[in-house]
Amino acid sequence: MSEEQISAFQPQSTRQPMSQRSIMSRTGWLVKNHPIGFLGGVIVLFVIFTAIFAPLIATHDPAAQKSKRLLPPSAEHWMGTDELGRDVYSRIIYASRTSLYVGVLSVALAVVLGVTTGVAAGYIGGTFDNIVMRFVDILFAFPALVLAIVITGLLGPSLTNAMIAIGVVFSPRFARVARGSVLSVKNEVYLEAARVIGGKQWHIVRLYVLPNILAPLIVLATLTLSLGILAEAGLSFLGLGTQPPDPAWGLMLSQGRKFMELSPGLAIFPGLAIMVTVLAFNFLGDGLRDALDPRLKL
């Protein structure tokens, strides 16, 4: 049999794996093959931009109660005013900061807690692994919202505590994924080779283990971000997250609910903001998952 007929000798694809390509080429891939993911990415960038440049985009001071209350949308107040006479549009713009702040920091906390735990458990193995994962499983066994509400409620309702609660609630997911990835590469030959030539433990972890588990973690992080933003909205809706008078979409929704018959915009706009942001992160996560799927070997 000639070499061409033996499939093992056929190149899978001549292109580079996604993780080694440049950002430009990865973006181009997303645009062509996963337009929804690209759209998500664009909206996410837009939301980030809004949050960073909020003072430039907002038309009024979000805390100023100067205007008449419950005005409908007009040229001066693009989304009308709320029950205290504040400009709704500006509050929504500034609230994007709260959502992104909580979303990013809670995911960061979840990543730090979860990944260190998972990597340690997977790498060290044995009884340590058993005990740690037992604890992680117990945490994981709780319905997310219940745990978040209990933690926030007991710590005291505030933005920071909501962030901590959400971070803790989502860390078991990262622990599991990290541990799974570590276990799958633990026995690879190149690790043994590294040990043989004298590499220290921490060095090995950093240089070989971590880059290999990056892909699933990035996807999980993006999807957790969307859940985190949703959770923050839910917690502030219940009064357990951001406290008045700070602007937060969930809080605006719960406060505006009481007056929504007089001014429907109060119930519509904050919810719309939540939905668009969560949608964008979900789209982006979908796209990233397809892009970083190692099996595709694109």
Chain residues binding another protein by CB under 8 A are 36, 134-135, 137-139, 141-147, 149-151, 153-156, 226, 230, 233-234, 237-240, 250, 253, 257, 260-261, 264, 267-268, 270-271, 274-275, 278-279, 282-283
- 115 vs 267 by CB, closer to another protein: 267
Cα distances (Å, whole numbers) of residue 169 to 30, 114, 155: 31, 10, 14
Query: 75 phi and psi, to 5 degrees?
Result: -65, -35
Q: How far apart are CB 282 and another protein at their closest, in Å?
A: 5
Q: How far apart are CB 111 and another protein at their closest, in Å?
A: 22
Helix (H) or strand (E) holding 246: none
- 4 vs 261 by CB, closer to another protein: 261
- For CA atoms 277, 282, 285, 287, the dihedral sign is negative
Instruction: Please state, in angstroms and rounded to a whole number, the distance separating the CA atoms of residues 288 and 18.
Output: 10
Neighbours of 191 (CB within 10 A): 17
- Token representation of residue 298: 């694109």
- Give DSSP secondary structure letters for 78-104: TT-B-TTS-BHHHHHHHHHHHHHHHHH
- 122 vs 256 by CB, closer to another protein: 256
Query: 6 phi and psi, to 5 degrees?
Result: -85, 115
Q: How far apart are CB 53 and another protein at their closest, in Å?
A: 24
Q: How far apart are CB 99 and another protein at their closest, in Å?
A: 12
Q: How far apart are CB 241 and another protein at their closest, in Å?
A: 12
Q: How far apart are CB 219 and another protein at their closest, in Å?
A: 16
- 143 vs 198 by CB, closer to another protein: 143
Candidates 61, 64, 60, 94; CA nearest to 75 is 60
- 73 vs 153 by CB, closer to another protein: 153
- 142 vs 208 by CB, closer to another protein: 142
